Structures are given as structure tokens and as C-alpha cells.
Amino acid sequence: MNKQEIIDKCIESYSRLKNLKLVGLEVGIPWQTVYVYLKRSGVTVTGDKARYGSAIDRVAVIGEQRFHKAVPFAVDNNNLQFQASIDFSVYNLTVDVKTSKLQHKKSYKKSTDRWSYCVNKQKDIADLFVLYALNDDLETEHVFLMPNEIVTNATTISIPKSGNSKWFDYKVEEDELARFFKQLAA
């Protein structure tokens, strides 16, 4: 194979695998060379959190995919850049999607089941937060929509399953998200 054929093979393989090391093994060259060839060819190296990420990353992907399905005109920044600081751009707004699986804890013989979200890194750069609350079967139990102004003093948001929380004021139906963003753009 000549150099261009190797580059083409790297591009094709990366489009399937989204993993530099696996592409290197498949093509028979070091992953570093794969990276150089992809960058020179203008291919964005983003990885695939759904397949290769941590358990937390894989849960995060669920919410991001559901948000993108609910708001199909949103631009997924994770497809443009590895570990984008903000997940989505919708018109001229930045939106960070947070996802939490229900956490079961017991304290003093009572249940304190809750969803927990870390907003500290994005609270100064996201215009809006969309929080997905998943049950044990990874189904969406609730969706919360929060403007940045509401979370500016928070580092984490903890929402009890009981619903006894100020955060439940920001509960929305998932099918309302697209309409909301279109209204902001008008």
C-alpha cells in the first residue's frame, strides 16, 4: 500500500471504530501516525464515549442522544471536538446536557433516592442546562430545563426522587424542548 492508501484506510477505519489505537492495530501502524494522518486530512478526532468511555460517560451519552433526538436542529459539539466544554449549540445559545441514573442511598432508615448533577465546570459558560433523570432501567423519568441564572451559585444539583425540591419547578416534558428553543430564536 502506498501512503495515500494507508491514509484512506485510516480514515475509513476511524469512521467505524472511533479509536486511534484500534485503527493503528487494524492498519498496522502506530496510533500516533494514525492521529497525524487524520489531522492532516481534516478528520476531527472525537472518540466514542458510548463505546469506550467510563460508566459515567456512557450514562452521559444516553442523555445527549435523547436531547439531540428531542431537538434535532441542535449542533452536537461533541462531534466537532473531543470532550467539548459545552455539549450543544442551539441557535446562538450554549446548552449543556447532564444525565444521572437514580442513586439509592439510605440514611437513618429512610430512603434518600436522588439524582445528582455536577454543573460546576459549565455554569459560567452554558446558557442553559438540560438534566435527564434516569431510572434503574435507564429510562427517562424526568427532564429538567434550567437557565444559567438559576444555577450560578450551585456546584452540584441534587434532586430527590420524592419531588420535594425547588428543582422540580424546572421539570419539563421532553417533547417541549424543541418548541422552547424555537421560541428563544424567534
Q: What are the tens digits of pLDDT across the range 55-69?
A: 566 777 889 999 999
Domain CATH number, residue 160: 3.40.1350.10
- Please provide residue 171's backbone torsions phi and psi, each rounded to the nearest 5 degrees: -70, 135
Query: What digits encode the pLDDT tens for the residues 110-156?
Result: 668 999 999 988 888 899 999 999 999 999 999 999 999 998 888 99
| Separation between Cα atoms, residue 88 and residue 81, nearest integer Å | 11
User: Between residues 78 and 169, which one has the greater pLDDT?
Assistant: 169
Contact status, residue 114 vs residue 104, Cβ threshold 8 Å: no
This prediction's pTM: 0.71
Q: Are residues 72 and 134 in the same domain?
A: yes
Residue with cell 469512521: 15
Q: Are residues 106 and 180 in the same domain?
A: yes
From the number of C-beta atoms within 10 Å of its C-beta (0-12, 13-18, 19+), residue 40 rates as exposed
The C-alpha cell of 43 is what? 478528520
**In the chain, % of residues over pLDDT 90:** 46
The type of residue at 3 is K
User: Domain residues for 162?
Assistant: 50-185
The C-alpha cell of 15 is what? 469512521
Residue (of 74, 80, 11, 8) closest to 44 by Cα position: 80
Q: Report yes or no on 45 lying in a domain.
A: no
| Separation between Cα atoms, residue 76 and residue 113, nearest integer Å | 31
